Structure 1
Amino acid sequence: MKTRTLRRSLAALSLVAVLPFAACGTDAADTAATSGSATSTTTDSTATDQRGPGGGPGGPGGPGDTVDVSSVSSEADLVALVQEAYGDASLGLHRGHQPVEDVLDEVLQISHDELHVRMEEQGQNLAAVATDLGIDPQTLIDALVDSWSPAVDNALAAGSITEDQAAEYLDALEEAFTYRVTWDGSEATPTFSGIDA
């Protein structure tokens, strides 16, 4: 009997620990499944499996609607990827950092919790966090672009884009990640519809 009570208590504590991080990009279905609440929301398994670098959801159509960098082969995929690089304004200053969490961990070298404190309690965007840690924000932007640039290479190898277009898509990724890193919390997210051929 005590074991069952202990398990329930631990489950409840783990639930409390998970819920505050729902804003990091977990979708409503993931949160509902974790909390055990009844919901009519369903998650398409292909959307769940399509993750950006770092494995997190979030993207152009909302949480869970992401483009897998390693499977990009068309120009339409690149357009969606660049849009995803801008992030999701509804997720606060970090704009949903799960799709880029590996890069943030590598470059910033702080814990996920500390990143949240800096962003939510101190109001820092990613550029301010980097600067505060003695890191040039451009270093973070470059690392983010590098992590997603294989998608451009894949589309080029597939013959979906030309070399000139590949260079333009890399520039578009840099512009999107610059926006994400320097976002002030109020500017509307641009819509990326592709490059001119």
Structure 2
Amino acid sequence: MKLRKTLAAVLLAAAVPVAAACGTTAEAASTTTSSTSSSATSDSSTTETADTGGPGGAMGGGGPGGVDVSSVTTEEQLVELIQEAYGDAGLDLHRGHQPVQDVLDEVLTISHDELHVRMDAGQNLVAVAEDLGIDPQTLIDALVAKYGPAIDTLLAAGTITEDEAEQYRAALEEAFSFRVNWDGEEATPTFTGLDA
């Protein structure tokens, strides 16, 4: 019985980070998992908290992430948002679907579960799109459009110039192109802002 409980705790500990990363349950990003081991005379519990991802908390739309697109008010937050667009290499090919699942659902027209099946089989987002007869650039454009309002907000506020806005849009497209085409091997670039 003790072996079963230990094995169940290990399996649960391995599954929770993926569930949290995918936002597959409402509780996944903030759930704590407990494993209990029993001995003849006592019970002890260990609690681990799932990592919810990057800086700034959860992204609008759920899942791990950093800056909420609708709350970007500084250039520093915009830089974080563009870095986030590269995805999280720690999630393997699953780096590609959170926190932008709604865009993927709309463009790819497959379920979240089907996307998991394809990614678990080794397909990246470009392979999924091509397999479904969708131009990968359509997917990249839709992802850029999801994050683009953050650039527009800073431009309208006078925080950045039109030229800087175009440079940020190009950086965002480069980041999402990397994410969609990522093969699981290449190191994630670091975006630290525009070159002066």
The TM-score, its normalising length taken from structure 1, stands at: 0.76
Report the CA distance between 1:56 and its aligned residue.
Answer: 1.8
Specify which of 57, 61, 81 is matched with residue 64 of structure 2: 57
* CA 25–180 in structure 1, closer or farther in 2 if over 3 Å, else same: farther
What stretches of structure 1 of length at least 5 have no aligned partner?
1-14, 59-65
Report the CA distance between 1:98 and its aligned residue.
Answer: 2.2
Counterpart amino acid of 2:141?
D
* CA 75–108 in structure 1, closer or farther in 2 if over 3 Å, else same: same
Correspondence for 2:76: 76
Q: Flag as ranges the 4+ runs of structure 1 deviating above 3 A.
A: 29-32, 34-38, 40-44
Distance (Å, rounded) in 2 between the aligned partners of 1:42 and 1:135: 34
- Paired residues of 1:53 and 1:147 also in contact (CA < 8 A): no
More strand by proportion, 1 or 2? Answer: 2
3-state DSSP of counterpart to 1:95? helix
More helix by proportion, 1 or 2? Answer: 1
Say what the alpha-carbon RMSD is for the aligned residues. 2.8
* CA 189–176 in structure 1, closer or farther in 2 if over 3 Å, else same: same
What stretches of structure 2 of length at least 5 have no aligned partner?
1-11, 36-45
Correspondence for 1:119: 119
**Identity in percent:** 67
- Paired residues of 2:69 and 2:149 also in contact (CA < 8 A): yes
Report the CA distance between 1:30 and its aligned residue.
Answer: 4.3
3-state DSSP of counterpart to 2:80? helix
User: Aligned ranges for residues 8-19 of structure 1 at < 5 Å?
Assistant: 19=16
Highest RCO, 1 vs 2 (Cα 8 Å, sep ≥ 6): 1
**Structure number, greater radius of gyration:** 2
* CA 35–85 in structure 1, closer or farther in 2 if over 3 Å, else same: same
